[in-house]
Amino acid sequence: MELDMKRLPRHVAIVMDGNGRWARQRVKNRVFGHRRGAEGVRTILTCCGDLGIGYLTLYTFSEENWNRPVAEVRALWGLLEKFLRSELPEFLKNRVRLRHIGDNSRIPPKRLKQLLDVERETADLDGVTLTLALNYGGRQEIARAAKLFAADVAKGNYSAEQMSAEFFSRYLYDPKLPDPDLVIRTGGEIRVSNFLLWQLAYAEFYFTEILWPDFGRDDFLEALAEFQRRERRFGRTGEQVKNSQVPPEGFAADDWHPWGS
C-alpha cells in the first residue's frame, strides 16, 4: 500500500477491542483472546518503527476493567508480566522507549515494579515511544489534574487566572506525550470508552469491524491511508489550511503538526 511518508501521524492511539469475541468465535475462553491480542502488539509496534511513527499508545487496562470477572482481571495482569518479560529484549534491540499512564495505586505491586524497571531500562532510547494506558480513565485523569492544580493554587504557587488549556496539560499523567493524531478502535464499536478524553480533541478517528487479534500490518496501513485522505482543519476552513502552515490559534508552533509528522 502506497503511503505519503511526509503525511504520517506522529502519534497513533489504539483501543484494542474484540479479544473476547474473537475467543468466543473459536469456542475458547476470553483469556485465550487476550493472549492472542497481546501477540498482535508486536506487529503494530514494528510497523510504527519501520514507518518512523514516533508514538504509539495502547489502551491496555481501563479503570472500569476491574469490574470484569476476577479470573480474567488476574489473567490480564499476568499477560502484562509475560509481555514485558518477553518483549524487553526487542525493546532494547529496536530502541523502543516504554512509558505508562494511569493511576498507579491499584496496579499490582509486582507488576508496577516490573513496569517501572522496564521504563528505566528504556528511558534513553530514541525509537518509538510505546505508552501503555494501565488502570487508566480519561475523566479520572482530568479530575486528578484539576486537583493537582487546585493544590498548587492553595499553596500559592500559581493563581487561578494562570489556568489555560496549555497550562492544564502540565498536570496530565505524561505532559510530554503529544496529542494523538489518529485514534484506531477495532472490534466494531463506535465510542471512545473514557480514553484520552483531553488529548483527543483534534484527533482523527478510524473504526473497524476487525477484531483486535485479527488486526495486522495491512489493516494498520489501511488506517494510515484513510488518515491521509482526511483534511485536518483544526477549526479553520479548507482554504486556510491549503494556503498556510501557520499553527491555528491556541496551538504552539512546536506542538502543532498538521499531519502529525
The catalytic site residues sit at 17, 65
- Beta-bridge mates of residue 206: 184
Q: How would you classify the pairing of strands 182-185 and 97-101? A: unpaired
Contact 115, 99 (CB under 8 A): no
- Mapped onto helix, strand or coil, the DSSP state of residue 58 is strand
Could you tell me how many helices (H) and strands (E) the chain has, helices first?
A: 8, 6
For residue 79 the three cell numbers come to 499477560
Q: How would you classify the pairing of strands 129-136 and 55-62? A: parallel
**What residue type is 122 in one-letter code?**
T
Beta strands in 97-159 (DSSP E): 97-101, 129-136
